[in-house]
Structure 1
Amino acid sequence: MTEPLTTKHAASAMKHEAVYAATAYSSQNPRDLPEGETSNERGGCFTRIAYGTPLPLPGAQCREYIAEAQCDVFDLEKLQENGSDEKKCSHMRNPHLMDFWPTLFEWPVMARTLCYVSGWLAFVGGGGATIIFGLLNGYEVALEFAKFSIPIFATWLFFKIITRGEPKLKKDTRFYRRTGMVSIYQKGEDRLEVPFDEFDPHLTHRTGPTGSTGFLLQLVHRYSDLLIQHINVYNEEFEVYLEWERLHQSMDISQPMPDRVITEPARQFDPVTSEYDEKHDRPKHFWRDMSDEEFEIRREAARKAAKDFPWGKTREQALASGWKPSEQRINWKALEATRQEV
């Protein structure tokens, strides 16, 4: 006989029903969906190349999200800026409600890309070169060289100012956690809404103009020719796998939101995530209160763990085979020393 739900569990279930739509995706209660066409059935050689290689990954298993290529100490510094959690969530377009993949060919994305590039050139290229020239050739030579960096710095400052606030995107692909739907931009038409669980992850290769090879994550619709491509080109395959895990867990309401630095303020606003954090005594500001030194130690351990993960296996299978998560790779004595220094 099934035991009746406790009052607390019943209240939690009612809260979930009020927040998450019936269409929301849950890996614990999947829909019975028909099989789609295989890669060979979809078309010829060029079609298969365009779609890439299917990724038979069993959901979020590695979960070393600070190993993501786009996660760095600058995310931690953004998190530590003044402002309420609500304001920070709004600036990120409320990640407890929606994840999104932007397209490069849209002004807010292009402006942020130019801001990043000009900032790197101004502070690393111009600033670094000025210091080196100053040490080698003296103050006057360094000052002359610094003059060439002023336009680049002014460009960075301009883009830094105009890219403040919430990005106004129209052509992005949106992934809604509470409804389980993927919203896709269509030129001249209303946005197309497709259930998330009808997409399969694929990995494809890209060769840059210099001959360098990168990897892309694509989502292929199981029942049509629809294909969605992530904007990032990754240097290593494991970064593509990790990006898919992150997206999958973001959409899966049977799991908490991925534990990422930049989206930490949003965890309290998602019922499943807030309940998980309360149950596991996760500090509300776990990442925000962390020093840069500790973050770098944790990130290095996470990247090693993600590289070593036997992708395609469950977490239990990985642990049984000898794989170690980042928590077991950290030199805790060295980490404690950084805390004492702070």
Structure 2
Amino acid sequence: MTETIDNAYQDTAYNSQSPRKLVPAPPPKEPGGYFSRVAMGRPLHLPAGAQCREPLAEDGTCIEDDQDFLRGPESHPKAYQNTEDAPHIKAVWPTMFEWAIALRTLRYVAAWFAFAGGGFSSIYIFFAVGYKEALGLFTWGFLPLLSIWLLLKILTWGEPKLKKDTRFYRRTGMVSIYQKGKPRREIPFDEFDPHMTTRTAATGSTGFMLLLVHRYSDLVISHINDYPDEFEVYLEWENLAQFMDISQPLPETLINEPARQFDPVTAEHDKKTGRPKHFWRDMNPKELEARYKAARQAAKDYPWGKTREQALANGWKPSEQRWQKN
């Protein structure tokens, strides 16, 4: 039986069109030096509700894999309808301080060194230097790294079971936070403000990271990724805010497609707009790539801090008006 909007969401669910009357935040404390400023970052100061609406711009590294997934048996709607981990129920921010995530990170590093470092280098040395040198690198470089990668791939097979992650629940509007040795802490989503901080890598490059700062305590939640461009942090926040906002449909991403029919607000939106059920799944890969590039450029050009109406009035163009030109 299909859920109605009235019984799908709890009273605590976040709605940007009818926000709660929150108690004013206490005055900010005096900055406690460089590390305190880095820990808190700077506020993003964005209008409520998704304004840019270019969620595809975040999916660049995996759109082909996501489309392949949509075309496989694991994306059948029955796998989404009654599970707590479905993308219309819960979004997750993992942490590096879990074996499941750490092993996956090591797996990607091992793959890069094995294939780029050992494999391609062996081929290059074979043609540039000789057979014996290439065989030595292949035997003592590529094969051990390949074995490590295969072992890590076996150990990380399937979806990771996380315990220390931060969980965002669309239907309740609550953020569930891990606490060591204590029950998980539940805080309403609208009590968090988005901030951005910078992080310098060992090579000297600078990345930007999204933080959620609780308005009434010292709690700060950090996203696991850092990005080379600031607009990517804005995108990350907007996609999360739209996911939690029951006045808006789920973000238009590939991974959300099989679950859209189970979220009442999204299902109603798709019915009104005539969105095809398998819009992303049946799309030509070349068109998907063109749409991604257009979404990326549209998000990069967006005047963050302005409403969508203000942006359009100032000449900004969404990806729908761009991708066919690519």
- TM-score, structure 2 length as denominator? 0.89
**2:99 is matched with which residue?**
107
CA distance in 2, matches of 1:212, 1:182: 32
Q: Deviations over 1:287-339 (max 9, x none)?
A: 2223433322222211111111000001111111011111222235x6xxxxx
Aligned with 2:175 (options 169, 172, 182)? 182
- 1:126 Cα offset (Å): 3.3
Q: Deviations over 1:29-58 (max 9, x none)?
A: 11011221344x365344344211101111
CA distance in 2, matches of 1:296, 1:140: 42
Aligned with 1:57 (options 32, 41, 46)? 46
**1:225 is matched with which residue?**
218
Residue 172 to residue 21, structure 1, CA distance change in 2 (3 Å): same
Identical positions, percent: 58
SS of residue matched to 1:201: strand
Residue 256 to residue 69, structure 1, CA distance change in 2 (3 Å): closer
- 1:78 Cα offset (Å): 3.4
Is residue 246 of structure 2 the alignment partner of residue 256 of structure 1? no
**1:208 is matched with which residue?**
201
**2:294 is matched with which residue?**
301
8 Å CA contact retained: 1:25, 1:253: yes
**CA root-mean-square deviation:** 2.6
Number of matched pairs: 321
**2:21 is matched with which residue?**
32
Residue 69 to residue 256, structure 1, CA distance change in 2 (3 Å): closer
CA distance in 2, matches of 1:324, 1:150: 50
Aligned with 1:85 (options 76, 79, 103)? 76
Structure 1: gaps spanning 5 or more residues: 1-11, 335-342
Is the deviation greater in 68-77 or in 241-250? 68-77
8 Å CA contact retained: 1:52, 1:203: yes
Is residue 235 of structure 2 the alignment partner of residue 247 of structure 1? no
AA paired with 1:32? K
CA distance in 2, matches of 1:87, 1:128: 42
User: Counterparts of 1:1-342 in structure 2 under 5 Å?
Assistant: 15-39=4-28, 41=29, 43-46=31-34, 47-58=36-47, 59-68=49-58, 71-72=61-62, 73-86=64-77, 89=80, 93-136=85-128, 142-147=134-139, 148-332=141-325
CA distance in 1, matches of 2:75, 2:303: 39
8 Å CA contact retained: 1:301, 1:326: yes
AA paired with 2:68? E
SS of residue matched to 1:170: coil
CA distance in 2, matches of 1:114, 1:284: 37
